[in-house]
Amino acid sequence: MSLDRTSPKPGDLIEIFRIGYEHWAIYVGKGYVVHLAPTRETARGGVSGFSSVVGNRAIVKKELLSVVAGGDKYRVNNKNDKKYNPLPPNKIVQQAEKMVGKEVHYSVTRNNCEHFVNKLRYDIPRSDQASMHQFPRGAEAGKVTEGVFPRMGSSRIFMFVGGQAVVTKETLRDATWGCLYQVNNHLDHKYRPLPVDVIVRSTEKTVGDKRTYAVICDNSKRFVIDLRYRRVHRMLVGPIF
């Protein structure tokens, strides 16, 4: 379901809100989108993604937006139009259609679904999700050894060598390092959050804990979703696709 009820036009970027990440597609008309998908998908059209990302392969698919989104919210989001000049819509669609059916290299940090659609619209591959997570140079899914990741709650997650993380408690100002941030409880329409005192108490108890860290299935966003909704993120396993 569209968040803003905006009807997409050919060449528009579509942002689909999964649990723990955003999936991106490009609208090509008549209800269809082209997107970078894992070689294995769940029946609902969502991304399971673990096996294909570990194998570093993905396939370009053309599917109905309603099928790709499933029950998830989505919106038209051409957020980089102020930075880059988009290509003509007919050229965007033509290039997207030519890619359909091709199997391509997948990289969480250098060639994910967001890189893919931005390349088609602006001829510039970029991913704000990858940049936001500050992946270290040369990092790959399952191989990340060091980095600082954003947080959505009282604690920021640090990942250390060996895929380990520690929960820390800091002021919001220190944790954001001067970066922009927003309150984003976007799953409240799907799941009932726990009482505030329960969330805070549970969060405080985790401070100082050392945990296994995995970009795909146990990252900072999933950590805070766990605390707010009590493990609903375990229902899905997906990368930052």
> What pLDDT does residue 71 have?
86
Q: How far is CA 141 from the centre of its chain?
A: 13
From the list 35, 115, 133, 233, the catalytic residue is: 35
So where are the chain's domains? 13-132, 147-235
Check if CATH label 2.30.30.90 holds for domain 147-235. Answer: no
Q: Which of 113, 115, 133, 233 is catalytic?
A: 113
Q: Which pLDDT does position 25 carry in this prediction?
A: 97
- To the query of whether residue 179 is one of the catalytic residues in this protein, the response is no
pLDDT score for 100: 97
> Model-level pTM?
0.57
Q: Is 35 labeled as catalytic in the residue annotation? A: yes
Q: Is 133 a catalytic residue?
A: no
The reported pLDDT for the residue numbered 40 is 53
Structure confidence at residue 28 (pLDDT): 98
**Third-level CATH fold of 13-132:** endopeptidase fold (from Nostoc punctiforme) (3.90.1720)
pLDDT of residue 21: 76
- The stretches in the chain having pLDDT less than 70 are 1, 4, 20, 39-55, 130-164, 173-181, 214-217, 231-241
List, for residues 52-89, the tens digit of each pLDDT value: 344 578 899 999 999 999 988 999 999 999 999 999 99
Here the contacts of 157-166 (C-beta below 8 Å, separation 24 or greater) are 157/213, 157/219, 157/220, 157/223, 159/213, 163/212, 163/213, 163/214, 164/210, 164/211, 164/212, 164/213, 165/210, 165/211, 165/212, 165/213, 165/220, 166/208, 166/209, 166/210, 166/211
Indicate if 147-235 has the same CATH topology as 13-132.
Answer: yes
